[in-house]
Structure 1
Amino acid sequence: METVEPMDSSRKRLHLFEGFGVELEYMIVDRDSLQVKPITDQLIHDEVGAYLSDVEFGDIAWSNELVLHVVELKTQGPVKSLEQLQQKFQEHVHKINGMLQKYNAMLLPTAAHPLMNPYTDTKLWPHEHNAVYEAYNRIFDCRGHGWANLQSTHLNLPFYNDEEFEKLHAAIRVLLPIIPALSASSPVLDGVVTGLADSRLEVYRQNQKKLPSITGKVVPEAVFSQANYEEQVLQRMYREVAPHDPEGTLQEEFLNSRGAIARFERNTIEIRLLDIQESPVADMAVLQAVVAVLQALIAERWVPLQELKVWHEDQLSAILLDVIAKGQEAILTDQDYLRLFGYGSAENCKAGELWKHLVEQALTLDDQPEVANALNFIISRGNLSKRILEALGDEPSEEKIRQVYQQLAVCLQKGSVFLPDKPC
């Protein structure tokens, strides 16, 4: 649904892993009640004196999203490395939290507000680019958790040509199903523990079922060239939305809502499956793990590229749905799938065990102790959903939920990792 591009299409084309675009979405809430505060436009106006959709600060920019209580922080164009990027994002978290004090407001992390009623609390962005948002609202009714209450981390990865697109898309498709095992951070909706590790993804995958070609199976189809992608993915979506969108407002690549979407206008693939974490250092830990495994897959470290390409989206989607529900505890039983990642045991394994294997095999963080520490907690203590649930208990009161999420806001401000038994 974004209209502002974090990777400028006018820049020279980059080869695989020569650049990275990162977007982090945060809620603005009342410091005491955690009620969402629809003041993103006021925040931007306070900074630049105008209701703009995009404000640039050198390497980092702020932008609006569909709803007025969410602000997005993003790299302004591709950065050469993810290393130390958390520090730049953290500086802007501090800046925004300082500006929000006069409204008794603050930024809140995690992928879904645990108490928000999206049917009463939703206010759409009314300024620049709102024609796109109004079109979405007219077709789908954007009041609902899958629209108004979801915050994610997006990772944009470049490809130079069709050959590189083929490799990158093949690797991303097979990795997508297990990413929520690392990144899930949305175990509560409407004040109730949902029983799902990744409640955001569960509502996200269904919020456009009126036009099923837009989201597909979340895992993209097995297409590996621009021409085939145009024909089999994009044109199908445009045809399906056309009767509902006579002005053609939505018939652009951003309409695609799969878990990873090809952006040929800027030669990137954008991974959209990730729940946002409690602080930028935790996000960078997850992103660096994802990138390291993608690099290993593309280098054919464990199996030839051809073996990645044969997987149908239905097979991969079935794995994804189990991981959405159970997170790191999801049991992976398909030995052929495990073999893609060099997991040699003849026995089933949990998604968390597979990630431990992958991090050991593919990633070295010796010169990044903060990121290494965050990733170690995610692997050993569980994804953020699991740690939140450990802090909440099975049937938490509204007050208990507020206490835990206020602690998560402290983690965001401090740039620390949330542990249920240790204050941030």
Structure 2
Amino acid sequence: MLADPVHSERKKIPLFEAFGVELEYMIVHENSLDVAPIADQLLRDEDGNPSEEIERDDIAWSNELALHVVELKTNGPVSSLNGLASRFQANVEDINRQLGAIGARLMPSAMHPWMRPDVEMKLWPHGYNEVYEAFNAIFNCSGHGWANLQSCHLNLPFANDDEFGRLHAAIRVLLPILPALTASSPVCERQLTPELDHRLETYRHNADRIPQVAGSVIPEGVFTQAAYEQKILQEIYDVMAPLDLAGVLRQEWVNSRGAIARFQRNTIEIRVMDVQEQPAADVAICQLVVQVLKALTDERWVSFRQLKTAETLRLRDILLNVVDDAEETVIVDPGYLELFGWTKGTCNAGQLWRYLANEFPLHEKSSAEALDVILDDGPLARRIVTSLSGDLSGKLLPVYRALCDCLATGRSFRPSELKNP
């Protein structure tokens, strides 16, 4: 959540010339798959002391708010997403080896399917704990919205105000359809949820005590740093001030919209993407997202002026529908579809992504294959629901064990995984 994969001390990087990616995974007990709050046993420095970050060449491991979560991230900006999946996968396998020695392993997907945060949540108790305690004091982090949300974050740089405006405009219009690719959280407390992306439904309510923190999830239509700081950040700081007297949370990252500007390091961080069952799937999605955003910022289909006119509440309504039904969501707004060059009338979100994937084919084999599974069989949430076939009491553990195996070995999850257990 507070990772810094594109460091602020580096020179300003132009649009799409570097990337930062963060992947969050749960640590679970090997046999029961119950959450295992032991991240501080994994994250240790050379002297054996708990550490907030372990650097492993070009990938770093870091802690999160919850003690059962570990984050893998690019260790500084990378110039290309090609080859990144294999480097993440190697680190997943390394972590699983270390966790295996103490009876634990990594679990993918955006929500643990039977965790009870009210009794199982443990905050990271070491360095940076004052921030987590401040969050806990204001928002009560014992709920799913803080304790049980694992995502993939994509960080994209901008070099100046014009690039920020173009990138922010493009990201705003793309956010609503991202869950059609990325939804991976259809189960909570052993029940199928009404939404395929229950993480996002939960995420948008985790700061309800101070609604300004998350806003409408879709960021407001502001396209300069000055306007963003005044309209979004300052409003958050002002309303939080009476609850955060020490000013611990008076930072850009307290903003919980689906994409947040990080002016200290000149990036925008996209936060709406659920983490997938293997790094190749996350990287494939990021690669396609980057290509679509490039096209939008280059005015391939519509002008920058037209992108800026997209209304926040209109975008939010599309997002909420996609949170519910993912790729099967019917998009009836012709003005929205026109932003992507779609002129064939009404379509569903899956069809729109298939069209975009055809426009920007992925050339890396592992990425192309992972994306094809998503486009052909639906996002991971759809595949999980299909595999459960209504039998949560009998199939929940086998399905999530299969997901853990997919992460461990670097392969896509298909419903057929369970036909011959």
Give your verdict on TM over 0.5: yes
Structure 2 partner of 1:170: 169
Structure 2 partner of 1:350: 348
Aligned counterparts of 2:288 and 2:135: Cα–Cα separation in 1: 33
| Residue aligned with 2:115, SS | coil
| Residue aligned with 2:212, SS | coil
Aligned counterparts of 1:198 and 1:373: Cα–Cα separation in 2: 23
Alignment length (residue pairs) = 419
Q: Percent identity?
A: 53
Give the conservation status (yes or no) of the 8 Å contact 1:180–1:323: yes
Report the alpha carbon displacement of residue 138 of structure 1 after superposing the two structures with TM: 0.3
| Residue aligned with 2:342, SS | coil
Give the conservation status (yes or no) of the 8 Å contact 1:192–1:395: no
Structure 2 partner of 1:369: 365
Structure 2 partner of 1:381: 377
Unaligned ranges ≥5, structure 2:
none
Structure 1 partner of 2:201: 202
**Structure 1 residues 30-62: Cα deviation after superposition (integer angstroms, max 9, x where no partner):** 111111000001111276511110111120001
4+ long deviations beyond 3 Å: none
Give the conservation status (yes or no) of the 8 Å contact 1:193–1:395: no
| Residue aligned with 2:268, SS | strand
Structure 2 partner of 1:409: 404
Report the alpha carbon displacement of residue 195 of structure 1 after superposing the two structures with TM: 2.4
Aligned counterparts of 1:136 and 1:418: Cα–Cα separation in 2: 35
**Structure 1 residues 244-291: Cα deviation after superposition (integer angstroms, max 9, x where no partner):** 000000000010000000000000000000000000001111111111
Alignment of 1:193 with 2:188, yes or no, is: no
Structure 2 partner of 1:184: 183
Report the alpha carbon displacement of residue 12 of structure 1 after superposing the two structures with TM: 1.0
Structure 1 partner of 2:216: 217
Give the conservation status (yes or no) of the 8 Å contact 2:44–2:54: no
State the AA in 2 paired with 1:349: C
User: What does 1:15-414 correspond to in 2, within 5 Å?
Assistant: 15-45=14-44, 49-346=48-345, 348-361=346-359, 363-366=360-363, 368-397=364-393, 399-414=394-409
Unaligned ranges ≥5, structure 1:
none
Aligned counterparts of 1:46 and 1:102: Cα–Cα separation in 2: 18
| Residue aligned with 2:101, SS | helix
Give the conservation status (yes or no) of the 8 Å contact 1:184–1:383: yes
Aligned counterparts of 1:56 and 1:8: Cα–Cα separation in 2: 14
Aligned counterparts of 2:258 and 2:167: Cα–Cα separation in 1: 14
| Residue aligned with 1:42, SS | helix
| Residue aligned with 1:45, SS | coil
Distance 1:288 1:100, change over 3 A: same
State the AA in 1 paired with 2:358: E
Aligned counterparts of 1:102 and 1:400: Cα–Cα separation in 2: 27
State the AA in 2 paired with 1:260: A
Q: Aligned-residue CA RMSD in angstroms?
A: 1.1
Aligned counterparts of 2:366 and 2:57: Cα–Cα separation in 1: 24
Alignment of 1:8 with 2:3, yes or no, is: no
Report the alpha carbon displacement of residue 242 of structure 1 after superposing the two structures with TM: 0.4
Return the TM-score normalized by structure 2: 0.98
Report the alpha carbon displacement of residue 395 of structure 1 after superposing the two structures with TM: 4.2
Return the TM-score normalized by structure 1: 0.97
Give the conservation status (yes or no) of the 8 Å contact 2:159–2:266: yes
